[in-house]
């Protein structure tokens, strides 16, 4: 049975609000996700919140009812609260109808099954949470096996990254690794490493790809290090017909992923 919280001074409200900060997320091993669509995607992927906050005016919505019932059945806590408290927790003036506190999860690199998908996305030192969210959505859209983040990449449990992923955070396996460890793991089995680069004349449409393909995107500002570029089996370039010399990292990843998908049929 949901309990009701209407006071900003409530300890659970204070504790939950702290999860908007990276340090507190790491200490607690938890993160925030907001919005009925994102939480429903999570529920359908088999992930339920440890704590679910929902507003009274949405309590009768069938998706909210399902979230409350399944959260409590799984041993989590459902909390009926106000829109003002949801706003305080999310940091938004117009918060979603629901907000969940989830346990952090990361897939170990050696738990990935490269035979499970023809396409895998890899991002090196990806810094922008919006780009991360878009790349996760692309991974979901093309049926990629997962996303592997290399070296000092963005915190994918930040409020901004979770929001930008629109639920794909819960549907796409994510692994973290150093570039060195990733290359060691990659070369223990099949896999074509394809890097997006400005330092090549190889048109991405003329190249030929062989599954499983690991599509590597470098840092938004600096591209990928020379050593990582040399480790690629193939470097490809998306031609620019205007004055810009490159596309946004997430856009380039999406363009490449769909070309690969088209070739593989």
pLDDT of residue 246: 66
Q: For the domain 3-103, what is the CATH code?
A: 3.30.1330.30
206-253 pLDDT, tens digit each: 999 999 999 999 888 888 899 999 999 999 998 877 766 667 899 999
In this predicted structure, the answer to whether residue 26 has a pLDDT above a threshold of 70 is yes
pTM here?
A: 0.91
Mean pLDDT of 16-23: 94
62-96 pLDDT, tens digit each: 999 999 999 999 999 999 999 999 999 988 888 88
In this predicted structure, the answer to whether residue 98 has a pLDDT above a threshold of 90 is yes
In this predicted structure, the answer to whether residue 60 has a pLDDT above a threshold of 90 is no
pLDDT of residue 245: 66
pLDDT of residue 43: 96
User: Per-residue DSSP letters for the chain?
Assistant: --EE---TT-HHHHHHHGGGSHHHHHHHTEEEEESHHHHHHHHHTT---SEEEEEGGGTTSHHHHHHHHHHHHTT-EEEEE-HHHHHHHHT-SS--SEEEEEE-----GGG--GGG-SEEEEEES---HHHHHHHHHHHHHHT-S-EEEESS---TTSHHHHHHHTTGGGTS-EEEE-HHHHHHHHTTS--EEEEE-SS---BTTTS---SSEEEEE-BTTTB--HHHHHH-SEEEB----SS-SS--HHHHHHHHHHHHHHHH-
CATH class entry, domain 109-264: alpha beta
154-207 pLDDT, tens digit each: 999 999 999 999 999 999 999 999 999 999 999 999 999 999 988 899 999 999
In this predicted structure, the answer to whether residue 100 has a pLDDT above a threshold of 70 is yes
pLDDT of residue 57: 84
Domain boundary assignment for the chain = 3-103, 109-264
105-150 pLDDT, tens digit each: 989 999 999 999 999 999 999 999 999 999 999 999 999 999 999 9
């Amino acid at each position: 049975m949901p309990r009701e919280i209407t006071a900003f001074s409530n300890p659970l409200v204070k504790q939950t609000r702290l999860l908007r900060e990276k340090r507190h997320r790491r200490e607690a091993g938890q993160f925030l996700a907001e919005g009925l669509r994102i939480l429903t995607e999570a529920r359908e992927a088999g992930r339920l919140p440890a704590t679910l906050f929902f507003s009274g005016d949405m309590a009768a919505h069938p998706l909210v009812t399902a979230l409350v019932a399944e959260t409590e059945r799984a041993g989590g806590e459902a909390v009926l609260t106000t829109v003002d408290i949801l706003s305080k927790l999310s940091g938004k003036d117009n918060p979603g109808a629901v907000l969940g506190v989830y346990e952090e999860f990361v897939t170990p690199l050696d738990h990935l099954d490269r035979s499970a998908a023809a396409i895998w996305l890899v991002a090196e030192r990806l810094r922008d949470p919006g780009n991360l969210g878009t790349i996760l959505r692309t991974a979901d859209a093309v049926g990629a096996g997962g996303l592997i983040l290399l070296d000092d990449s963005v915190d994918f449990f930040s409020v901004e990254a979770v929001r930008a992923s629109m639920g794909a955070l819960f549907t796409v396996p994510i692994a973290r690794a150093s570039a060195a460890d990733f290359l060691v793991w990659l070369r223990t089995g099949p896999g074509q490493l394809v890097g997006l680069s400005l330092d090549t004349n190889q048109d991405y449409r003329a190249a030929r790809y062989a599954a499983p393909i690991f599509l590597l995107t470098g840092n938004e500002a600096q591209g990928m290090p020379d050593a990582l570029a040399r480790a690629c089996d193939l470097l490809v370039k998306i031609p620019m017909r205007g004055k810009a010399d490159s596309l946004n990292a997430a856009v380039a990843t999406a363009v490449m992923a769909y070309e690969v998908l088209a070739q593989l049929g």
